Amino acid sequence: MEVRPYLVLGDSDQRFLLERIEAALAAWREDWLPGNTPELRLLPISQPQAERWIAAEAGEQRRVLLGCSSGWIAEMGALLTARAPNAAGATGVPELAAQVGEATLRGLAVGVFRYCSGTAPAKPQWGKEAPPETWRRPGAGAAIYSCELWPGLPLILALSPELVAASLPKAQSAGREPLVAVRRAVEPCAVIVEAVVGDTEIELGELSQLAAGDVIVLDRQLDDPLLLRLDTGDPVGRIHLGTADGKKAVQIVGPA
């Protein structure tokens, strides 16, 4: 059986993560795209589909994956290079467009990684590896979005659970006040307690031959207090047996 953490990001974490990503997108848009490019809108998705992927990653499995269609790079490059003077008549324009398109995505992958982790990744690598299935499970802690730069130019942005965790603010224990006092927080919780008369050890052969009327000698004297403990085995206190309202009861006489 596979054991894995289950993480659902709260609203504040979602907002904080989106602010980081949107800041990275804004910086990338200013560096690479024309001034009239509309703001990019991120939409969470669960089934990312793309033909090409570029990965920016560092240690501890922190990864950014960007996915696009096979024609995305050429189209993006053509949109950008067409703004250069006399680009339409220059030789090698398709090759230049492809190079510009690839550089654009590399810049975005590095930017998102930097804004989310505060560190630089290794050189981004192209491939066909989509976000693994483990990222798409409920509670995996990954973040996967789609965004469209221009009509017909959709882009997939995926952050690994490890990168998402590194992006979120770390809780500071010093000076933090709990939402509810510990005592109030545990008061409604039910626990099982046991009154233990005593303990002893017997052999399995003896245990198998026990019958009604047999006597088992325990490790306590007759007037010794009994032990009150949780069902987990943790002692709570020492007790005496008695009755209350016609039922068996115990009275606490001291700590365990």
pLDDT tens figures, 69-93: 878 888 888 877 764 433 444 444 5
pTM value? Answer: 0.61
* Cβ contacts of 174 within 8 Å, gap of 6 or more: none
Lowest mean pLDDT among 50-59, 169-178, 210-219: 169-178
Lowest mean pLDDT among 53-57, 126-130, 174-178, 241-245: 174-178
Q: What is the pLDDT of residue 55?
A: 95
Closest CA to 98 of 122, 118, 80: 80
Domains of the chain by range and CATH? 11-167 (3.40.1550.10), 182-255 (2.30.330.10)
Mean pLDDT, residues 161-168 = 89
Distance CA 203, CA 142 (A): 54
